[in-house]
Amino acid sequence: MKKILLLVLAIVAIGFMACEDKIVYLFPAFTNYVEFEIDETTSDIYEEELLSIEALNDSIGDISIDGVIESIDIEGFYLTFQMYDDNLAESVNLNAYIKDQQGVDLAVFENFALDISAIEEGKSYPLYDYLEEDGVTELRDVVNAILTQPDLYDQVIVIIEGESAPMDVRAHMSVDLHFRLNAKVNPK
């Protein structure tokens, strides 16, 4: 009888603890990207593009409908390629940088090498083995600053650079640097 009474009391206690107010967070994810058009004949690749603050704000605004965004973190990076018919390059080695507020280039990833003949258009090539902490942290800080102060940044410069091989042939491709973000949302 004692065992049954203790079991009933334990179930009642668990029931009362389960009735406490708990915050259940949502963690929606979204992806933004920067597109680079590479058209070089020197084997040296260097392109600067602007991260679309407007697209980031749109994504953040879409998520804000679900509640209050407490923070945004970076979940991952990947590249996608589109090769043009006149591309003669056989391989690429790429690095990406983001300019901080002082104009210093901080590495997002370095030394991503790929044989062009092995590229599948539309396939995502993850960068987790090539990521650099300084640039990834800067991008996360920029996104969170845009969340709290949308007018803080009017532009964010992202750079892709590297080389193609063999030398002195045309490297002609579109490279998209995608970054996947997730938000911690309190659905108040």
Question: Could you read off the pLDDT of 119-168 as tens digits, one per residue?
Answer: 998 899 999 999 999 999 999 998 888 888 877 787 889 999 999 999 99
Residue, of 21 and 134, whose pLDDT is higher:
134
- pLDDT of amino acid 8: 47
Q: How far is CA 154 from CA 6, 14, 51, in A?
A: 64, 52, 10
The stretch 34-52 carries a mean pLDDT of 94
- pLDDT of amino acid 50: 92
pLDDT tens digits, 81-134: 999 999 999 999 999 999 988 889 999 999 999 999 999 988 999 999 999 999
- pLDDT of amino acid 101: 82
Element (H, E) at 71: strand 68-83
Say how many CA atoms lie within 13 Å of 175 toward its Cβ: 29
Give buried/exposed letters for 5-30 (b at 16+ CB in 10 A, else e). Answer: eeeeeeeeeeeeeeeeeeeeeeeeeb
16 pLDDT exceeds 70? Answer: no
Domain boundary assignment for the chain: 26-186
The stretch 63-72 carries a mean pLDDT of 82
Average pLDDT, the chain: 87
**Answer CATH for 26-186 from 2.40.50, 2.130.10, 3.40.30, 2.60.120:** 2.60.120
- pLDDT of amino acid 18: 56
% of the chain exceeding 70 in pLDDT: 89
27 pLDDT exceeds 80? Answer: yes
- pLDDT of amino acid 121: 83
- pLDDT of amino acid 110: 97
| Phi-psi map region of 119: left, alpha, beta (phi>0 left; psi -120 to 50 alpha) | beta
19 pLDDT exceeds 60? Answer: no
